[in-house]
Structures are given as structure tokens and as C-alpha cells.
Amino acid sequence: AKRHAVSWRDFSLADAERAQLAFVEQMAILPDETHRKASPALALALLRLMTSRGARLALTTTVLKPFVNEAALPFLALVGARRVGE
């Protein structure tokens, strides 16, 4: 499992695994204007669905290789996300 290869920062993996946890590996949206405008609403709907089903913690990943994908960072900041590992 890749989670053991992560360098965690001020975060307890053991505690997270015992919590009501939701995980999104990656979410991609087509890059055209119509889909790009809908992506924040889609991401928010997914977050609401996870919390409505009892998730107390949500983890996600962003791509670092072969390129750094920073597209999700503004949304993650908006919902109060913080980096907990690399």
C-alpha cells in the first residue's frame, strides 16, 4: 500500500485509519470551458456526499509526477484542506 510510503506531516495515519474516512484518489474534469466551470460544483457535491455518509475525514491525492498538477489546489484551500504528506 502506498500510504506507508508517504512522508506524513503532523498527521497520524493510524488515527485516520480508525476514523470515518473518505478517500478520493484523483478526480479529472475535461479541460473545455463548460466542464471546467462545473468542476468546483462537482467536487463540492462529492465532499457533501462523503460527509452525509458519515465521513469525518477526507483525504485526496494530487499528481506530482510526471508533472505537478496544481488544478485542485484552489478548491482544496477553499474547503480548508491542508497538506499532510508527500
* pLDDT per residue of the chain (86 residues) written in tens, 0 to 9: 677 788 888 888 888 888 888 888 877 777 788 887 888 888 889 999 999 999 988 888 888 888 888 878 887 888 888 898 88
pLDDT at 6: 85
Pair 21, 13: CB distance under 8 Å: no
Measured torsion, CA atoms of residues 80, 74, 59, 48, in degrees rounded to the nearest 10: 70
Give the global pTM. 0.71
